[in-house]
Structure 1
Amino acid sequence: MHCLWITRQDPRPANSGELIYTLGLLGSLAKQPETELTVLAHRAAAGAEGGPPVHWELHGKIPGGRLKSLLSELPGDAFRLGNPVQRQALSLLLGKKWDWIVIDQAACAWALGMIGTHQKVAYIAHNHEAAVRKQVASDRGGSLPMRMALKWDALKYARMERALCRRADLISAITPRDTEAFGTEFPGKPVCTLPPGYQGEAAAGAPREITSETPRRVVLAGAFEWVAKRRNLEAFLNAAAESFQRGKIGFQVVGKADPEWFAALAKQHPWASFTANVPSISPYLDQARIGLIPEALGGGFKLKALDYIFRGLPLASVEAALSGVPVNPQTEAIAAPDPESLTKAVAAKIDDLAFLNHAARRALDACRDAFHWEDRGVTLRKALGNPESFRA
């Protein structure tokens, strides 16, 4: 089976959730028998080597600027990704014979108009973009021009994703909730569920014990480049300021971010700590009692949940962000419907060591054998070989 895989950029190094997911799927699918992959993407900011045994077609870097996209039918991401360099490279590749063309993320649907109607197309969804972009655009944060631009972009995203789903011969979703949404909107369309795998550091046996000597600290790790991620963090900081300071609870934010933005947040919220672009988040996870998932905005699977669980941290999460994570939100996590309620729940549980250790153990037991990348490659190869078997 010969597949042309179209994605945003070279996922090496995989230093954000979307790149981890793309690289994991590529690597697991490439290991399947009689499967050959060619990947069309932009070059990463830093040169990358190694990775899965695929043929890389890397051309240019993702251009900046979104203003020109306002006059385009494409949303901003797709407009930038579908630049002339990528279109020329795709035109040459389409001269070859492919069993499947894989559109990895809705933003890569810029390529759809160039693909012949005879060609099989698979859509690898990282989100249900129509729902997520509408949710983000409905948030009241930011200036009026920004909110208007986000709403216009969300409408274009929804239209583009619907066209992609109608055209696709197979859709994969990252969470059960997204699988249900695609199945409801496109009845009869083959849809498979492909949650991420995990290949980071993990506790060998039982998770480390959280004791009274463990810092009374909550950690939030992740990438904070998308506007929704930044708004989620800002909303949680505002919600947590009073209860965390009153309870003398530490809050550490660490991950991929603009250092200047982190510095501005540190001035506004001196009770919290912010560290950008660290080589490893493990030392920060080891010095906390709880791992935070505050995403009230945005969909998809929260890969940070696996980092927390496999390092022995119990989860504190907005309920909607737990889709696809096999934990009971009532007994195996600290869960609440919104950031305000979540801050109170964290404050109430930060010193309940029995609960924290129970939650950490149960989550690790549930996840230890449930997130192998190899299994995702088997499922995806099966879906490409026989999509009808995934028709509802």
Structure 2
Amino acid sequence: MLFDTAGFQRSLPLTGAAARTLHLNRHLSKAGAEVTLLLCDLNPRSRPTSHWPFPVLYLRYEALYEDTAPLTAHVKDLAPDVLVMSNTQLTVRYGRALAGATGAALLYEMHDDEAAVARTIGSGEWECRQAAVLQAAAVATADAVIAFTGRDADLATVLRAAAVHVVPCGVEPGPAPLRERETAGSAAFVGNLYYEPNARAAAFLRTRLAPALAPRGGSVDVYGRYPRALRALGTGSTVRLHGPVPDLPSALSTAEVGLAPLDSGGGMKLKVLQYMAAGLPVVGTAEAFAGLPDPGSFALVSSDPSMADMPGLVARLQDDATLRRRLGTAGRQLIETEFSWATAAGLALRAYQSACGIAGTTTAPATGAGDIRELAGRTPYWLHEWRTREEPIMGDTPAPATGREHPVLARLASEIDCARQAAESALDTVFDHAAIVGYGGRSMVFLSKTAVLKIYTHRPTERARREIIGLRLCGQVPGLRVPEVVGHDDVEGALSWVAATRLDGTAPDDIHNQDETRTLGAVAARLHNLPVDALAGLPAFGRNIRPLDVDAHPVRARLSAVLAKIEAVQQASCVSGFVHGDYSARNLLLTPGLPPGVIDFEGCGVGCVYEDLTNLYVQNCLIDGREAALALSGYADEGARLGRTSGLDARHLLWHTARYFRWVLQWAVEIDTALADQITALAPRVLVALEAEGTPQL
């Protein structure tokens, strides 16, 4: 089977064709067939994974679309009995030669009536005719054709296929769904909204169906990929966009009706089978039920070409629990008896065995061969669609938790969404679509009930590496709770991500609570007690200190002058150790009866431990108003308990504080003016203390 990764995130299928490729071949493998998927790595974020249930050979893009010599070599090594190809153009270009290299039977898996599909996406009549010619050539080239429906089988017969076998789509039935509620819930629509017929269906839901359901308290949940241009579908209406989900049956368990308002398309509609498996009654057009017997036994079928009757059909189901149960039960029984993937795999296996007996008896059509070769060599429309999807404007922008779109979310929408999907596939979990945006948009955090996913947008590889090492190091510190790494990935050209367990607790927010303030200092001492020899794999911590524009403000000139005067002496006093990098109350989690928890290690490194004390002193004491003496005494007392003999050097802390001020003023003037103003106001007090004789006062 030849396919490509455009429809996958790792092994998670994002399209109906990808789902068929995964599930049909899984059951073929269970039935005893030796299956190998030759997967063109079109999508760099798909990265080879071990999660496939059968052997997968990843091929470079060029091996399928340009220089096919490596592909031919791989096929010869595999020596298959059957070669299955679903890409019409590639079947025509080299399917016959590829199968002939090993004497394999060539099967063309015909997913659609491609001329009809071309019309649905707005192609001109000449392009539709070209699609028909190319598909006729693919049918004539193959030893046998696999069709999904009787309608498509009839088309293949008209196109003079040597043999035609109907192997419908299926679905994993899973446990029988429970339908305990007697009141109607939401209606569900499943579909990849990059596909034009699905996008039109979603627009119908927004403009016509959802407004009709709203007065009744109804809503519509949409599951599947969607371009950023369609995000407005879920804004200010009862239509909710969820994006792709790894566990669709669980998502559908909250619905009462499955929707299929499809005015065109081709092949078999996998979404309808998924509704039926979930025990949902279906409301759809006649087109939606292609390949299924007696739709009226499990669905309400729209009889109006404009679908004007569909809101009434949904309302009828909402009002009639008995009808919902009857239709849902009938659909589920049909799945169990005729349309499971196991049943489809049995049909496919018999079709493959039959084709082996006639392998190589067909030849590519000679008439118009030059024109056909030219058509087969063109870039297919779906490949153009995929490349367009990679543009930021077509990205799937997750919503920030604040409800306002962050510029980084908009700019890196596709990359963030791909990383989230990859993590969901790898961890078999679902994260909230709303993002908690890190300071400056340097990271995006997504939550599930048990895990936290962090996607890095600024220096992603470096920050992910620091996060992983920091979590694992500090997880060994006695008296602290630290999240456990449960998954991570760093793919070239994509955003890195790290997922970790979710800790109970809340950040201390009572600045007058003395115990909390002392705990802040004590936890820092525990982190700094990590032995230096355990930090060998941790990168150095450092701030990129640049000269300030001393003419812009007198405080900047004085700050630069004082630091230059004492730089050498104070650098010699630095205490090397573990540095959290963003140590403050916001990264501490407290829960009664449990040790303190520490999170967010993306900036950690090896450096002077006074860097963490500086963050604590500036952020939580000078700015927030906590009592500095309590925090620092908590640090000193805990350090003494742990056997640290050196006391706290107040002047060295003030020197680091002044350096921190200079660093903040390098960038905050442009992106955080409030912080820049605070630092400018605090700097004179710190500089006076730093230049004072004797022990400086903090």
- 1:298 match: 265
Aligned residue type for 1:202: P
Change (3 A) 1:257 1:35: same
Structure 2 residue aligned with 1:174, among 138, 148, 156?
Answer: 148
- 1:124 match: 109
- 1:143 match: none
Note the C-alpha offset of 1:297.
Answer: 1.9
Asked whether 1:208 is paired with 2:179, we answer yes
Change (3 A) 1:25 1:201: closer
- 2:2 match: 6
Moved more, 235-244 or 292-301: 235-244
Change (3 A) 1:242 1:386: same
- 1:314 match: 281
Deviations 1:185-226 (A, max 9, x none): 13463111111232264326xx414412x42x2111232222
Within a 5 Å distance, the mapping from 1:119-198 to structure 2 comes to: 120-137=105-122, 147-148=123-124, 153-183=127-157, 185-187=158-160, 189-198=162-171
- 1:264 match: 232
Moved more, 334-343 or 240-249: 240-249
Note the C-alpha offset of 1:296.
Answer: 1.5
Asked whether 1:250 is paired with 2:213, we answer no
- 1:347 match: 315
Instruction: Tell me if structure 2 keeps the 8 A contact 1:132–1:298.
Output: yes
Note the C-alpha offset of 1:38.
Answer: 5.3
CA distance in 1, matches of 2:289, 2:191: 16
Note the C-alpha offset of 1:243.
Answer: 2.5
Change (3 A) 1:229 1:389: farther
- 2:404 match: none
Instruction: Tell me if structure 2 keeps the 8 A contact 1:252–1:272.
Output: yes
Instruction: Tell me if structure 1 keeps the 8 A contact 2:169–2:270.
Output: yes
- 1:92 match: 73
Change (3 A) 1:111 1:296: same
CA distance in 2, matches of 1:21, 1:345: 30
CA distance in 1, matches of 2:254, 2:237: 19
- 2:296 match: 330
Please give the TM-score of this superposition, normalised by the length of structure 2: 0.45
Change (3 A) 1:330 1:200: closer
- 1:71 match: none
Deviations 1:333-356 (A, max 9, x none): 111144323233223332111111
Note the C-alpha offset of 1:116.
Answer: 6.2
Change (3 A) 1:50 1:220: same
| SS of equivalent to 1:369 | helix
| SS of equivalent to 2:222 | strand
Note the C-alpha offset of 1:8.
Answer: 2.6
Note the C-alpha offset of 1:235.
Answer: 3.3
CA distance in 1, matches of 2:99, 2:191: 39
Change (3 A) 1:277 1:297: same
Note the C-alpha offset of 1:59.
Answer: 2.4
Instruction: Tell me if structure 2 keeps the 8 A contact 1:169–1:190.
Output: yes
Change (3 A) 1:265 1:364: same
Change (3 A) 1:271 1:38: closer
Q: Over aligned residues, Cα RMSD in angstroms?
A: 3.1
CA distance in 2, matches of 1:210, 1:191: 45
CA distance in 2, matches of 1:82, 1:190: 26
Asked whether 1:356 is paired with 2:319, we answer no
Aligned residue type for 2:267: G
- 2:204 match: 235
CA distance in 2, matches of 1:117, 1:330: 43
- Number of residues of Structure 1 aligned to a counterpart in Structure 2: 347
Instruction: Tell me if structure 2 keeps the 8 A contact 1:236–1:340.
Output: no
Aligned residue type for 1:89: P
Asked whether 1:273 is paired with 2:240, we answer yes
| SS of equivalent to 2:14 | coil
Deviations 1:73-109 (A, max 9, x none): xxxxxxxx95325x34324346555433321243543
Structure having greater relative contact order (Cα 8 Å, sep ≥ 6): 1
Instruction: Tell me if structure 2 keeps the 8 A contact 1:221–1:304.
Output: yes
Moved more, 368-377 or 349-358: 368-377
Change (3 A) 1:89 1:356: same
Aligned residue type for 1:6: L
Instruction: Tell me if structure 1 keeps the 8 A contact 2:110–2:145.
Output: yes
- 2:91 match: 109
Note the C-alpha offset of 1:239.
Answer: 3.2
Change (3 A) 1:117 1:311: closer
Change (3 A) 1:34 1:99: same
| SS of equivalent to 1:195 | coil
Change (3 A) 1:93 1:342: same
Please give the TM-score of this superposition, normalised by the length of structure 1: 0.77
- Structure of larger gyration radius: 2
Instruction: Tell me if structure 2 keeps the 8 A contact 1:262–1:274.
Output: no
Where in structure 1 are there 5+ consecutive unaligned residues? 63-80, 138-146
| SS of equivalent to 1:123 | strand
Where in structure 2 are there 5+ consecutive unaligned residues? 359-698
CA distance in 2, matches of 1:34, 1:290: 37
CA distance in 1, matches of 2:70, 2:92: 13
Note the C-alpha offset of 1:358.
Answer: 1.0
- 2:339 match: 371
- 2:51 match: 50
Change (3 A) 1:84 1:274: same
Instruction: Tell me if structure 2 keeps the 8 A contact 1:136–1:297.
Output: no
How much identity, in percent, do the aligned residues show? 20
Note the C-alpha offset of 1:252.
Answer: 1.7
CA distance in 2, matches of 1:210, 1:180: 43
